[in-house]
Amino acid sequence: MSKVHISTTVNGEAVEFLADTRDSLLDSLRDSLGLTGTKEGCGTGDCGACSVVVDGTLVCSCLMLGVEAQGKQIETIEGMANGDALHPLQRKFIEHAALQCGFCTPGILVASKALLEKNPDPSEEEVRYWLAGNLCRCTGYDKIIRAVMDAAEEMRGAA
Amino acid sequence: MNYHNPSNFSDAARIARDASGVTRFLAGGTDVLVQMRAGAVTPHDIIDIKNIPGVDAITRTADGGFIIGAAVSGAQMGADADLVAAWPGVVEGMELVGSTQVQGRATLAGNLCNGSPAADSVPGLIAAGATAQIVSADGVRDIAIEDIPAGPGRSNLVKGEVIASITLPARGQGGGDAYLRFTPRTEMDIAVVGCAINLTIDGDVITSARVALGAVAPTVVLVPEAADAIIGTTLDDAAIAALMNVVSAAAKPISDKRGTAEFRKDVVGVLAKRVAKIAYARARGEAV
Amino acid sequence: MAKDTNTSDFRYIGTRPARPDGLDKVTGRARYGADIAAANMLHAAVVRSPHAHARIVKIDTSKAEALDGVKAIVTRADFPTGLTGEDWDLQENTMAGERALYDGHAVAAIAATSPHIARDAVKLIEVEYEILPHVIDVDDAMAEGAPVIREGAANKTVPEGMHPNVVKYIEFGHGDVEDGFAKADLVMERHYKTEATHQGYIEPHACMGQLGADGKGEMWVCTQGHWYIRRMCAAVLGLDTAQLRVTASEIGGGFGGKTTIFMEPLALALSRKSGGRPVKLVMSRSEVLRATGPTASASMDVKIGMTKDGMLTAGVANFRMQGGAFPGSPVDMALYCAFAPYQVPALQHIGYDVLANRPKCAAYRAPGSPMGAFAVESLIDEMATELGLDPMEVRIKNSSKSGDKSSYGPKFGVIGLEETLAATKAHPNMSIPLGPNQGRGIAAGYWFNHGGETSVSVALSEDGTVQVSVGTPDIGGSRASMALMAAETLGIPYENVRVNIAETGSLGVNEPTHGSRATFASGKAMHGALTQAINEMCRRAAGKWKIDPEAVEWRDGAAVPAGPNAGQFPPMTIQEIARKMKNTGGPISGHHESVPDGVGDSFGAHVVDVEVDPETGHTKILRYLVVQDAGRAIHPSYVEGQYQGGAVQGIGWALNEEYVYDNMGRLQNPIFLDYRVPVASDLPMIDTVIVEVPNPGHPFGVRGVGETGITPPLPAIANAVAAATGVRIRHLPITPTKLLAAIKAK
Amino acid sequence: MVTVNLWSGLRRFTDGELAIQVEAQTIGDMLEALVGKYPGLGPIFDDGISVAIDGDVMPADMSKSISSENEIFLLQQMKGG
């Protein structure tokens, strides 16, 4: 089966890859581009482990075709830190022990970042509903919610 | 699988008409990709309509209605203040489809074409009296939303037809709509029962209404006798009791993994009561 | 004593530093099971039975073989024969033989040059089935006339005359229960059921295996225990165990479900058949739900006697559990745990392990204990309510104390249930007023904890930093707790310790991270290994000082002369000893292996407030409190995390999670949309209190903390719902459908 | 002489006895002596058991020393999650 040549931008870098038309964007990121920080937990858009941002919109990369990436701006967990400087959310997740196994963590960080860019001062309820599509089976969400709220507060202070 | 990226709806419809195997239109993709991943459907041709100019825009009709392009996402609808103000029930139905991530992609047209009797956005559209613009190689036609679903997973659209947009009528004075569903979880769930009501009032009296129910029949259903139960009333206790009885009687649900028929018949009445109160309050301009 | 009132002399233990793997995990760098690729790698896919029970008449692979890109296909015919016992069970579950025993049972596997080709090939394999009668429910499976899943599977514990699907029977107790019931003022007997649930880890099973014609192999796999993977794969494939080297990837949750094999031998078999190419096999979510995990489902009868002042006089528990088409439901442990929090003069326990046409169950966090607690704690609560007694006081009054004889026979060591219940009673959540349709429920829970085979090495680096090699994969932060204990033992900074999860080639056999044992068992063995290394460092210092090694002590990261030589020489730091070690006798390391004794039993108590919508039967969790004895909390944040995570898994089990089958025995909800684990918006914050009653069997007082937390939620929520509605649901989950029907029937 | 407490389901194999005295210095001796006395216990032990010595539950470590001072229970084999 012939593949389609795709040019796109991932974390600010221009990249090219060949996509089988059946590949999801998640497949393309992981298998074609080697960006395995984005995870597959379900393949049906129900767990959020594959969360990425495409042209400013938070999406499940398992629900998008790789060929749809043509010409888009894609942000993944690998682009979240600025060199050695972690994003406040990343720091707060470590500080609050907001991860146990860590498998859902990239998706939750990407989703939380999208939230705080849209709403810098979310209530606990708003954080919980925004992240309802990101399953975590280890933590019971408590420390995740606290880490997001704390990061939001720090970012507001810095702004 | 062939990936097509047409630049207008006529081409999209023609590609679909001429295709020999399984064909899927790709708007949000939130159902198509799930079906592909499950191995349930492997399209021979997939037609991406998202790059058609205007398909991702919400525009206004001359009389103040809304035209919602087939690729407009739930998140876009929620961000459109005019649309939210006019048709809050339609928007809240759409916003219940999937997670924040799914909201970034999922569309009204896709939710409609998926053909689920539990589709959260469909009762609100039907209650609102919305129509869909259908494009085929033969031309363009508008049909009422309630005429599109044919049964679970099936629609009345034929090969070579594609939804280009959804039109919501002008809201007008004294109108209010609302949608509620029941799910075991607070989010990330399929409606066990859903109910949308759109009504208009003159003073305190309901002058017109449309009631649509989800997940209680093979398709989302419009229940005119439920509307009749509240038209001409001030939504007093007797009217609400009548509404609850009518929707319970109109519901012809099945028992499945998500709930029993008995539960659905009970809860559809409860939802109708709650939805009617919200729609009525909205029509009166009260905050809810 | 509650954690915040406890004081200790520890410098590192009890602090909350950043976990060693934190940076990798927040940047996406950590490598999990599916995050690996190798040159020349193939991708595998598995053909699974769509039938609950069917004879496999014929498998035609010819069309799949003809597909371009398909490199190998295996069926059961490619596996060795003659296995017995557990090894046969593992092989049969990995790949069906004569019959498919459940919906999702593997019947063939394919390796191809891309995942798409492998999946296309799955559709080209033609399997002819003869559908057989099936059975799903545990009570149905024991009934006369039920389809026999396997003749001769029963072990010798099963008395004559039982249905062949009953494969294990257990009976134990003490005292005269009839006499006990005669002394009671109230005797109640109730029937309870719980449905099967899945561990629900977010990372699907994934591995990459490579196996050559020489019988040497490598495997990368997400697992709680790579020595188990090695032994089981070797047994199923007829390999020499030491020729297989298994590396544990980072693991995306396990909760017991990754303590065994499901598909790993398939990757190796496909690799061997394709000329030794590496084969990657990653399950889809629906494969995970259909063919791995889950828990047993349970049908339970409990009868309890209670005096009017709340003293328990006698109890009888009769539990039936199906664990899928193979022996191994945790009915025995359910019974051992059921009454463990209480002192009951007379008890009788009877249990049946039963086969059904469902996937082979795996361990799930405190296996069996949640079901037993649901039945017993629900009934105690119902009886206390009936007698007008405070359910908390009834529990305190009957609670087990240090040195008491346990409900399953042996006496307890030092336990902290009394302290746990006292801290629970004193918690502010207990006195928050409740509104209409709201109710408060409490329950206690128990887990044994576990030691298990453990092998640990430590080694000193040239600059005085220390590496620790353990064999227990880190699922929830155990590397942090190891590093803290090592820092404490050595008197060096936490950051100067690196903890590695060693592959199977570099340590002796280790059991998995299961039974809440990692921090206890690997920690205890590490302490032994560090003691050995410290002794050697003291010996090196003594050599330099030309004094007796016995006269050297280790203090604050340095060897210090002691006894008659005290003060004679300045302390020799670990850095100094390390710098000179190549000239003082060579590498310094320590090693320890054992099956550690001194396991500390674990008790917890939970309090939950719920609000029920009386018109829909929907239950909302308003607030939730976990109180549990940790023995000693090494890294309190991760102890709290275990409490919170366990509680939320229990909430899911109590309210929404269940395996739903149609009348053909097919699983109806094999995706996360319909298998409803709790989402963030379903929950409040989960309050925690860490009680510390140190375990004398561990150098730092550690008890395991991982499992007990899933046990009390099931009854606590059922009790809260009963308090809110006056309706008692005795069949989990408490779905809105069930609860609304019960409210209407009231 | 040590006293071994069995679970009551095993009484079918021990003529109804549940507290059995055997001469043994180690757990290995003890299990061997039990099977010698009641051969029906052999297959049960082969399937795997746990032994609790003074409340410490562990898989049977054959070399572990025991004496008449110890409280000894046999339990079905335990596994954790």
Interface of A with C in 110-139 (CB under 8 A): 125, 127-129, 131-139
B219 is a domain residue:
yes
CATH code given to domain A4-79:
3.10.20.30
Q: Domain check: are B263 and B145 in the same one?
A: no
Q: In terms of CA atoms, which chain C residue is nearest residue A131?
A: C680
Give dist(CA C414, CA C401) in Å, integer: 8
Measure CA C107 to chain center: 28
Give dist(CA C546, CA C542) in Å, integer: 6
D73 touches chain C (CB under 8 A): yes
Contact (CB<8Å) C679/B182: no
Q: Which of C15, C24, C26 to mutate to test the interface with A (most CBs of A within 10 A)?
A: C26
Nearest of C218, C308, C204 to residue C263 by alpha carbon: C204
Q: Which helix (H) or strand (E) holds B239?
A: helix B237-250
Residue C2: the pLDDT is 44
pLDDT tens-digit series, residues B49-64: 999 999 999 999 999 9
The DSSP secondary structure of C107-127, one letter per residue, reads: EEEEEESSHHHHHHHHHH-EE
Residues 6+ apart with CB under 8 A from A128: A141, A145, C680, C681, C683
β-bridge pairing A51-54 and A57-60: antiparallel
Q: What is the mean pLDDT of residues B182-202?
A: 97
Domain boundaries, chain C: 368-449+600-745, 454-594
Dihedral, CA atoms, B73, B76, B77, B82, nearest 10 degrees? Answer: -160
Give dist(CA B81, CA B87) in Å, integer: 10
Give dist(CA C241, CA C94) in Å, integer: 18
The DSSP secondary structure of C11-31, one letter per residue, reads: SSTT--PPPTTHHHHHHT-S-
Distance from CA of B1 to the nearest CA of A (A): 6
| Residue segments in chain A with a per-residue pLDDT below the cut of 70 | 1, 159
Q: pLDDT class for B288, splitting at 50, 70, 90?
A: confident
Mean pLDDT of chain C: 97
Using CB atoms, pick whichever of A43, A62, A130 lies closest to residue B100: A130
B135 is a domain residue:
yes
Using CB atoms, pick whichever of B2, B73, B98 lies closest to residue A45: B98
Instruction: Give A75's contacts in chain C (Cβ within 8 Å).
Output: none
Please give the radius of gyration of chain B, using alpha carbons only, rounded to the nearest integer.
Answer: 19
**Structural domain that includes position D30:** 2-76
User: What percent helix, strand, coil does chain B show, rounded to 5?
Assistant: 35, 25, 40
Question: Of residues B145 and C2, which shows the higher confidence score?
Answer: B145
Q: Domain check: are B183 and B255 in the same one?
A: yes
The CATH code of the domain that includes D24 is 3.10.20.30
D38 is a domain residue:
yes
Token duo for residue C303: 């009868």
Residues 6+ apart with CB under 8 A from C134: C51, C52, C53, C147, C357, C664, C665
Instruction: Give A57's contacts in chain B (Cβ within 8 Å).
Output: 73, 75, 104-105
Instruction: Give B99's contacts in chain A (Cβ within 8 Å).
Output: 45-46, 48, 60, 132-134
B83 is a domain residue:
yes
Answer yes or no: are the C-beta atoms of A28 and A17 closer than 8 Å: yes
This prediction's pTM: 0.97
Burial of B192 (0-12, 13-18, 19+ CB in 10 A): buried
Chains sharing 3 or more CB pairs under 8 A with chain D:
C
A142 touches chain C (CB under 8 A): yes
C365 touches chain D (CB under 8 A): yes
| Residue segments in chain C with a per-residue pLDDT below the cut of 70 | 1-8
B122 is a domain residue:
no
Tell me yes or no: is domain C454-594 CATH 3.10.20.310: no
D81 is a domain residue:
no
Distance from CA of A116 to the nearest CA of C (A): 17
Distance from CA of A34 to the nearest CA of B (A): 21
Q: Domain check: are B233 and B253 in the same one?
A: yes
Distance from CA of A156 to the nearest CA of B (A): 23
Give dist(CA A6, CA A9) in Å, integer: 10
Nearest of A116, A60, A57 to residue A90 by alpha carbon: A116
pLDDT tens-digit series, residues C155-169: 989 999 999 999 999
Contact (CB<8Å) A101/C475: yes
Contact (CB<8Å) D81/C333: no
Q: Domain check: are B17 and B148 in the same one?
A: yes
Residue C3: the pLDDT is 45
Answer yes or no: are the C-beta atoms of C326 and C355 closer than 8 Å: yes
> Above 70 in pLDDT, residue B91?
yes
D59 is a domain residue:
yes
User: What percent helix, strand, coil does chain C show, rounded to 5?
Assistant: 30, 25, 45
Domain count, chain B: 2
Token duo for residue C15: 């602090």
Answer yes or no: are the C-beta atoms of C132 and C54 closer than 8 Å: yes
Q: Domain check: are B10 and B108 in the same one?
A: yes
Tell me yes or no: is domain C368-449+600-745 CATH 3.30.365.10: yes
Residue B42: the pLDDT is 86
Give dist(CA C169, CA C176) in Å, integer: 21
Does B contact D via 3+ CB–CB distances below 8 Å?
no
Instruction: Give C740's contacts in chain B (Cβ within 8 Å).
Output: 263, 266-267
A76 touches chain C (CB under 8 A): yes
Using CB atoms, pick whichever of B188, B190, B259 lies closest to residue C737: B259
Q: Domain check: are B107 and B246 in the same one?
A: no
Q: Domain check: are B162 and B189 in the same one?
A: no
CATH architecture for the domain at A88-158: Orthogonal Bundle (1.10)
Q: Domain check: are B140 and B26 in the same one?
A: yes
C18 touches chain A (CB under 8 A): yes
Side-chain-side CA neighbours of residue C711 (13 Å): 32
Contact (CB<8Å) A109/C26: yes
C251 touches chain A (CB under 8 A): yes
The CATH code of the domain that includes B28 is 3.30.465.10
Residue B120: the pLDDT is 97
Chains sharing 3 or more CB pairs under 8 A with chain C:
A, B, D
Instruction: Give C256's contacts in chain A (Cβ within 8 Å).
Output: none
Residue C7: the pLDDT is 47
Q: Which of B44, B99, B188 to mutate to test the interface with A (most CBs of A within 10 A)?
A: B99
End of a domain among B108, B142, B168? B168
Q: Domain check: are B223 and B139 in the same one?
A: no
Interface of A with B in 100-159 (CB under 8 A): 111, 114-115, 129-134
Q: Domain check: are B157 and B181 in the same one?
A: no
Contact (CB<8Å) C655/B190: no
Does D contact C via 3+ CB–CB distances below 8 Å?
yes
D71 is a domain residue:
yes
Q: Domain check: are B152 and B34 in the same one?
A: yes
What are the backbone angles phi and psi of residue C717, rounded to the nearest 5°? -70, -40
Contact (CB<8Å) B263/C740: yes
Give dist(CA A51, CA A106) in Å, integer: 8
B238 is a domain residue:
yes
Nearest of C40, C50, B33 to residue A24 by alpha carbon: B33
Q: Domain check: are B206 and B259 in the same one?
A: yes
Contact (CB<8Å) B185/C123: no
A63 touches chain B (CB under 8 A): yes
What are the backbone angles phi and psi of residue C712, rounded to the nearest 5°? -70, -25
Answer yes or no: are the C-beta atoms of C383 and C188 closer than 8 Å: yes
Tokens 């009032």 belong to which residue? Answer: B201
Q: Which helix (H) or strand (E) holds C364?
A: none
The DSSP secondary structure of D47-62, one letter per residue, reads: T-EEEEETTEEEE--T
Q: Which of C48, C613, C615, C739 to mutate to test the interface with B (most CBs of B within 10 A)?
A: C615
Give dist(CA B139, CA B145) in Å, integer: 18
**Structural domain that includes position B31:** 2-116+131-168
| Residues linked to residue C593 through DSSP beta bridges, in sequence order | C455
Contact (CB<8Å) B263/C669: no
